A = this chain, B = another copy of it.
Amino acid sequence: MVSLAIRAAQRQTRGSIDPILALTKADMARVNDLILAMAGSNVTLIPEIAEHLISSGGKRLRPMLTIASALAHGYDGADHVKLAASVEFMHTATLLHDDVVDESDMRRGKSTARTIWGNQASVLVGDFLLGQAFKTMVEVGSLDALAILSAASAVIAEGEVWQLAAAKQMTTSEADYLAVIDAKTAALFSAATEVGPVLADKGEEERAAMRDYGRSLGLAFQLVDDVLDYRGSLADLGKNTGDDFREGKITLPVILAYAKGDVAEKAFWQSAMESGENDDAALARAKDLLQRHGALEATIERARGFGEEAFRAASTLPPSPAREAMLGVVDFCVDRLN
């Protein structure tokens, strides 16, 4: 257990994505090459859409975590590159389908694939990327890694269906919401990091630590995203501020503000989230209510709590640059708010 005073000091020096960028630079170049090869097809629509996604400026955090986790466990083979590329394709396939489901027009400041090529192509190219992901991870030949990643695939989709079914219900509780993001976001972070010790032939203890690290980091990451959707600017967020609000997507800040709201405020949230009365004036009022009830701060506090959990889990790793890089990512994820 790391004391909070030490943690606060560490946060100053460690809250950076630079160490993991440096650590994974050479391997990520291989991941990028493999991603381009996996997106290759005579059906030109596939590389076109894949190229759009690849160039859209995602941080590639998940594959970097797979690389870092493998290195942190002393893995010196080449298969972490394949698993990292597969993890990124699973993520990309999910984004393609999410944008169709959410009818999103912008992501990371660029038009979504569905607005350029249509929903049909987005659904089918997503399926192709998922198929390529499975094919590539099968090539690695680790049944344990396959079990982790295929289970994550089912859990992610289940979480998405759950969110769809629960969407626009202001009765969604904090526990409900955490269960949704545990499935739709944290499961892939958790799988991405758990395959590291699996590749390095480590046991259940090491796997459990990486599962915890990835899961807690994923939860913190999603909660910070939820806050950024109300607080960030397009430049630092890369998507439209207020998107969640306009899509009637109920996130933790809204759940917390609703719980503290009076009768009139509850009625406002219901008409905004359930009945789609979500114009710019409504968004301004929503931001005001979130501020008044400290809902963004409270969400950040929960994100910090998950960040602490991720930090503790990665602290069990033997000292190495990979460990430092994984610790740095935790504070980067939480601190990108500031």
Contact = CB atoms under 8 A, between A and B. Distances in A.
Max chain B C-beta neighbours (<10 A), residue from A41, A121, A154, A165: A154
A161 B130 contact: no
B45 A164 contact: yes
Nearest to A183: B43
A143 B150 contact: no
Interface string A34-54: 000000010111100000000
A157 interface: yes
B124 A153 contact: no
A71 B68 CA distance: 45
A141 interface: yes
Given A46-B158, A123-B101, A161-B45, A150 B128 contact: no
A161 B97 contact: no
A123 B100 CA distance: 9
Interface in A138-189: 138-139, 141, 143, 146-147, 150-151, 153-158, 160-162, 164-165
Interface in A108-153: 119-121, 123-125, 127-128, 130-132, 134-135, 138-139, 141, 143, 146-147, 150-151, 153
Q: Which 10 A-B pairs have the closest CB atoms?
A: A131-B154, A131-B153, A128-B157, A127-B157, A134-B150, A135-B150, A101-B120, A43-B162, A138-B146, A124-B161
10 contacts: A43-B158, A43-B165, A45-B161, A124-B157, A127-B153, A131-B154, A134-B134, A134-B154, A135-B147, A135-B154
